[in-house]
Structure 1
């Protein structure tokens, strides 16, 4: 039984690659994704970069922490984390956070139409432990501070406008953000063992300077219905946001977040789960749970950042595990897509597709050294299905 019905053919390059949620009726929830044969086949031997890929795919190193980005004079930041791609004329831009504290921030790499690097530059400075974030429909990057009473910063991927702190989006241990242009809200995860899932409703869509922060309210079960309630004090004072609303549903370490066609997915690292919210029916369920996979057979552990492709596939990066990006298909099959070798003290971060859907960018946050100064940012090119 297929739990999610996916619509194909979205405009590639937006955060809302086309796939949506099946209408839910009562308790008719299907089982979470299970291991199976992936759409790209088995992984081949490690390439020159130590990456195992399916046939037809190749990798290259785009940047290394502490070194100048090839073809530029810009030194790439340490601990590269969450990222996104933005169209730029006939080329594109990849934005990447820096998860160090202090002096986190974010940088960008600009690519020409052939994929050649044409520039690199800083888009956010002077912030703390910028972990994940999210892309807006108006082509800005929301960079989130993963610290207590952290902020969201709205940044310009094109390097023209100064970054702006968006205090109205709440002060808590932010992780990821995902914009929903239908409901005109931004969803937010919280990286706490008893964290919550939020949405921010801007007073004016496209302007994040003011609005209302709400928290998801639901029971303790792993599926059911949910609602939203206002957070009285988004600034987290005197009580932290996750403790202000009775009945707010708790999640064990919120991580990546992705929206597409009336559905939002987010991961929780404490229990290796991928949650799915069906926004047309206000119901939620588990899209993946490694504890529900036969013992020793779970291909996806250490769930972290998540993105989607125009085919309806979800790509989920591992923080730990065996350093894989796994794919979950529309028919609920989970399988490895790639694996990085020789970097067991790192994590994979920032998966994002180029606007044409042919290139996948991501980073190994600590690379082979296991240190934040050893980060490596990669590109994988190949026959991604449309």
Structure 2
């Protein structure tokens, strides 16, 4: 176990925290991360799009709110938010939510094998404030409503099949979702100051029409063990889902969620933390906490999160310094890119193309600071695998 991990364990909770870190899962992500040199070097001067990138990386604008996407006839939505990529033959698709209330919904952009835009279209309409979500192993997009007693909608990234509202996944202020194909569950975050962390256990894996909503039960510490308890009334009325189970753990503003290798990570914006759940032994700890950083914290405004095949986590900022930061498996956190001149915005929807060479994301309000000023970008370069 690395000395840094032992020191951090002592800070965050004594003996119980000392059981965390590398003892839980080998050398990977011995939390919480500390600043250091990133694997790609520091972001350089702003490019023509106002994005500071490491050497070897380039950016392009994919879409702008209120304008046609490429040479298509489709007008891109306002306030682009959570997103995901899907393989499409030799090309791929990027799906993006719209955090507008009312209207909301989600749209998609299709790319050829060379990365050219070949189409754009709507995949979900008539919903409210679709913030984040998550992709499923059966290639659908779960679009989540960030409103009181909001729903999850299962959508078709190809725009062929009609979206379906998944009532069994509960009614609360949904944020993000992440599928776990090993335990055959979907993890869900809740964007409330006293939100909870949930999982949905489908009656049959591959369909979300019925199942059981459960909530994480744990103590008040920042590390320890946890269990799951059924939520008696997923409809959330008259009692909110977060208030139904005694002992369920409160989280301050649940945001992004990402699953990989028997681990699920999720972020809480109210306290600038990244949480890590080890699903092999049902323990949790902090992967990042800006208040535990030595010196100036490189990552603030913690929000959306995604992962690369390398094991690196990419965390987007809502505000902060408008950066996407990388957290490496060896506990280094560092800026990967910065968006200049857009301090009234937030970075949303980070997602990698299927081959891992391109990263998509949006600036939700762009240079104008308005929902109608959203910009969706692509960054291409030598991402490590």
Shorter-chain TM band: over 0.9
**Aligned equivalent of 1:357:** 356
After superposing on structure 2, the runs of 4+ consecutive aligned residues of structure 1 that deviate more than 3 Å are 1-4
**Aligned equivalent of 1:182:** 182
Q: How does 1:334-373 map to 2 (within 5 A)?
A: 334-373=333-372
**Aligned equivalent of 1:329:** 328
- Structure-2 separation of matches of 1:357 and 1:191: 29
**Aligned equivalent of 1:132:** 132
SS at match of 2:226: strand
1:153-198 per-residue CA deviation (whole Å, 9 max, x = no partner) reads 0000011100000000000000000000000000000000000000
**Aligned equivalent of 1:67:** 67
- For residue 326 of structure 1, report the CA deviation from its aligned partner: 0.2
TM normalised by structure 1 equals 0.93
- Structure-2 separation of matches of 1:332 and 1:143: 31
Gaps of 5+ in 1: 5-20
Contact 1:189–1:256 (CA<8 Å) still a contact in 2?
yes
**Aligned equivalent of 1:79:** 79
**Aligned equivalent of 1:320:** 319
More helix by share: 2
TM normalised by structure 2 equals 0.93
Q: 1:242 to 1:105 in 2, by over 3 A?
A: same
- For residue 294 of structure 1, report the CA deviation from its aligned partner: 2.6
SS at match of 1:127: coil
- Structure-2 separation of matches of 1:226 and 1:186: 17
User: RCO greater where, 1 or 2, for CA within 8 Å and sep 6 or more?
Assistant: 1
**Aligned equivalent of 1:12:** none
Q: How does 1:161-240 map to 2 (within 5 A)?
A: 161-240=161-240
**Aligned equivalent of 1:293:** 293
- For residue 31 of structure 1, report the CA deviation from its aligned partner: 4.7
Q: How does 1:240-319 map to 2 (within 5 A)?
A: 240-295=240-295, 297-319=296-318
Contact 2:318–2:346 (CA<8 Å) still a contact in 1?
yes
How large is the RMSD of aligned CA atoms in angstroms? 1.4
